Structure 1
Amino acid sequence: MIEARLIPDGGYSLSTRDKETGLGWLALARVKGLGCASFKRLAEHFGDPTKAFSASPGELAEVPGLDRDAAHGLASFSDWAEVRKELKRALATGARLVPFGASDYPARLRTIADPPPVLYVRGEMREEDSKAVAIVGSRSASNYGIRITQELGRGLASLGFTIISGMARGIDGAAHEAALAAGGRTLAVLGCGVDVVYPPEHERLYENICRNGAIVSELPIGTPPFSFNFPGRNRLISGLALGVVVVEATEKSGSLITAGLALEQGREVFAVPGEAGASRSRGTHRLIRQGAKLVEGVKDVVEEIAPQMLERAGSAREKAPLALPSDVGTEAKRVFGLIAERALQIDEVIEASGLAAARVSEILLDLEMRGLLKQLPGKRFITGR
């Protein structure tokens, strides 16, 4: 039996300008024979669901790629009472509906071949979430996998990227936690209803994501986390992101499905190399052989999808004032000055400063605790000002 837990009623409200239009999009998601790809053709042809439902058989025949089953399901649809019940259930659990026609429907998701007619959301999706990176991987992650995920998640979140994942055990959970720890935003895309916490031990994580991001699903309220839901969910993870980073994956991992979908959607694909011969590394190594960009740190991701951010970060460091508190000693000022010029690893600081390793470590720790320095993945330091 699948473990899951229903979330109690919340206090959110529907955020559509026109509830009837929202109902129309939700109804399209319930039409028999109408898949998401056919839905997109229909939406592009008619513009809004009201026109689609009122179209004549002849008008439906003019929609490119719309087969007879979908046209018949649309013409014969009458289950409006159930659609209204579904809307009521969503509101009762604290979810809001974001229909395809709404201004806050994610623009990047509109571009995929099979966008969902409606998104169920708990929390808040923002325009800034369009600058997002997905991090996915093994549910049974190694300590190495968790550590590199934490470094990537924290580093990318600190640069303003929203981290997207699926809230599963292992890499997914670590990615969300890292983004939250860095004070960033994160989106969890579920293979169940947004009112279902799965796995159940992620209840606290679920609530933290609601407060600092959003829980997202295309599936109706109360939908259990059946295994056949997850491949479809994966297209939303990749569709919402600029790129997908795979950290640890076996040869049959669902993360490889996400990577394949990312390629189809024109997204960047990245993979973190692992231990040679380890089963958890076979999937990521295969991706690298097939052309995925090898990732050892945050810079490898950012220079591919937003290189201008690295340039701005460097420029900001050059322009940053070097004023320090009066109680900072001469040696600490020397170390701070070196790092203000460019990001340095501890060995580089030792060499450039001429100070003993123990003394440099002591200074770095003190400056970091004061918020004057920040440590990036790869044990590189930059100024915190």
Structure 2
Amino acid sequence: MVKELFPEPDADAPDPERDLIDVLRLNLVPGLGPRTYQLLLERFGSPRGILEASVSQLQSVRNVGPRLAMSLVTHGTEAAAVQELERARSAGVSLHIRDTPTYPAGLCRIPDPPTLIYCKGTLVEADALAIGVVGSRHCTSYGRQQTNRLAQALARVGITVVSGLARGIDAEAHKGALEAGGRTIAVCATGLNTIYPPEHRELSEAITRQGCLITESPMDQTPKSGLFPQRNRIISGMSLGVVLIEAGRSSGALHTARHAMEQNRDVFAMPGRVDSEASLGCLDLIRDGATLIRDVDDVLNALGPLVAPVKRTPTETVRKPAELTLSDQERLILNLMSAESTPVDEVIRAANIEASRVLSTITVLEMKRLVRRLPGGFVVRS
């Protein structure tokens, strides 16, 4: 009877805490990048399988040499992982493993997603509607003004602004979103116990109240030059597209644009003065095919349908970013339709407003290519 009431634990049952410790152990191994981790995962099946492999077995995997194989065996001990987890939790940081429900869906669709992300603040489903805004650390007053204006406009329509917490354009993008009362995500190169640059500590605290800080680096990771280009792939990976505002030809922001192209994300550039060194990188991008943008409407109208619909509220589902510019009435009518054909009479009844207003709104939505009329008095959401 006792065994029936209190059965023995199933050794094969999933153990999220155990899985998290195993992933943390691997994340603490120096030199183990996301692409090599993926190769190891394909070979050994699970983080636990990697940790239990011998040095010779590890070396049979492409990209794993003797030094990395020894690091996998000697670094990232269980004790170190437990300490790291305690540090994170005491700092109010949550951890999200790739391919779990709380991990950002956009990052799963890039070639080299982080194995694990640390998050301080909140990640919500609507953060799938995100635009990266990046540029030079040494920006002009024009760059600051345009960045703040665009970030505020993006935030007001419900777009999450993603940037890198750096000086200059990045900081202005975060500030603009915060000033508009919107959400913003700062992707950090350092660990979350080390805010960089240090003068942005107050800004980082404000971001955690209206979004979050995220990183793939361990809690106590200090600034290293190689980490900044690496984190740029996360900025673009979390975004539907990336806007560059004032990037010189040697600007690190151009790395973000290249990552966006590799990840099949849209690349936008705001033009500046043709004789300004600060704008030459953006002008080059426009010449080479990036979309020239002036305002939020240019950005949203250029974005295509989402990979998967995003539920912003219990009653509102977004399938195309251009829907965010709709009026309240247009949004109400649109959300009464689906990808299946719906009788117009049913839309009129559900809207509970005058039939003439519903019909005129459907016409407007049709002109915006968000709905289609079908024969027999039916409509369908495009």
TM above 0.5: yes
The 3 A distance-change label for structure 1 pair 312 and 73 is closer
Alpha-carbon distance in 1 for matches of 2:163, 2:203? 12
Q: 2:351 is matched with which residue?
A: none
Which SS does the other structure have where 1:176 is aligned? helix
Q: Deviation at 1:257?
A: 0.9
Q: Deviation at 1:66?
A: 5.5
Letter of the structure 1 residue corresponding to residue 139 of structure 2: A
Which SS does the other structure have where 1:210 is aligned? helix
Q: 1:234 is matched with which residue?
A: 232
Which SS does the other structure have where 1:147 is aligned? helix
Letter of the structure 1 residue corresponding to residue 153 of structure 2: G
Q: 1:263 is matched with which residue?
A: 261
Q: 2:280 is matched with which residue?
A: 282
Does structure 1 retain, via aligned residues, the 8 Å contact 2:26–2:76?
Answer: no
Q: 1:382 is matched with which residue?
A: none
Does structure 1 retain, via aligned residues, the 8 Å contact 2:246–2:279?
Answer: yes
Q: Deviation at 1:203?
A: 2.5
Select the residue among 228, 240, 243 that pairs with 2:241. Answer: 243
Alpha-carbon distance in 2 for matches of 1:17, 1:128? 28
1:312-323 → structure 2 map (5 Å cutoff): 313-314=325-326, 316=328
Alignment of 1:196 onto 2:208 = no
Deviations 1:138-182 (A, max 9, x none): 112222111211221111112211110011121111111111122
Does structure 2 retain, via aligned residues, the 8 Å contact 1:41–1:66?
Answer: no
Residue range with higher mean Cα deviation, 220-229 or 289-298: 220-229
Alpha-carbon distance in 1 for matches of 2:143, 2:41? 41
Alpha-carbon distance in 1 for matches of 2:230, 2:257? 13
Q: 1:210 is matched with which residue?
A: 208
Q: Deviation at 1:277?
A: 1.1
Alpha-carbon distance in 1 for matches of 2:266, 2:107? 15
Q: 2:172 is matched with which residue?
A: 174
Q: 2:137 is matched with which residue?
A: 139
Report sequence identity in percent: 41
Alpha-carbon distance in 2 for matches of 1:58, 1:25? 21
Select the residue among 29, 46, 49 that pairs with 1:48. Answer: 46
Q: 1:310 is matched with which residue?
A: 322
Deviations 1:255-276 (A, max 9, x none): 0011111111111111110011
Select the residue among 30, 36, 39 that pairs with 1:38. Answer: 36
CA RMSD of aligned residues (A): 2.8
Which SS does the other structure have where 1:221 is aligned? coil
Unaligned ranges ≥5, structure 1: 1-15, 322-340, 343-385
Does structure 2 retain, via aligned residues, the 8 Å contact 1:26–1:99?
Answer: no
Q: 1:330 is matched with which residue?
A: none
Which SS does the other structure have where 1:215 is aligned? strand
Q: 2:158 is matched with which residue?
A: 160
Alpha-carbon distance in 1 for matches of 2:76, 2:142? 54
Alpha-carbon distance in 1 for matches of 2:158, 2:176? 13
Select the residue among 275, 296, 299 that pairs with 1:298. Answer: 296
1:114-125 → structure 2 map (5 Å cutoff): 114-125=112-123
Q: Deviation at 1:55?
A: 4.2
Alpha-carbon distance in 1 for matches of 2:248, 2:153? 25
Residue range with higher mean Cα deviation, 224-233 or 242-251: 224-233
Which SS does the other structure have where 1:227 is aligned? coil
Q: Deviation at 1:109?
A: 1.1
Q: Deviation at 1:248?
A: 0.2
Q: Deviation at 1:296?
A: 0.8
Q: Deviation at 1:79?
A: 2.4
Q: Deviation at 1:86?
A: 1.9
Q: Deviation at 1:33?
A: 4.6
Which SS does the other structure have where 1:196 is aligned? coil
Residue range with higher mean Cα deviation, 223-232 or 122-131: 223-232
Alpha-carbon distance in 2 for matches of 1:254, 1:273? 18
1:55-70 → structure 2 map (5 Å cutoff): 55=53, 70=68
Alignment of 1:254 onto 2:252 = yes
**What's the TM-score, normalizing by structure 1?**
0.72
Alpha-carbon distance in 2 for matches of 1:319, 1:64? 51
Alpha-carbon distance in 1 for matches of 2:128, 2:272? 29
The 3 A distance-change label for structure 1 pair 190 and 314 is closer
Letter of the structure 2 residue corresponding to residue 209 of structure 1: I
Which SS does the other structure have where 1:122 is aligned? strand
Q: 1:220 is matched with which residue?
A: 218
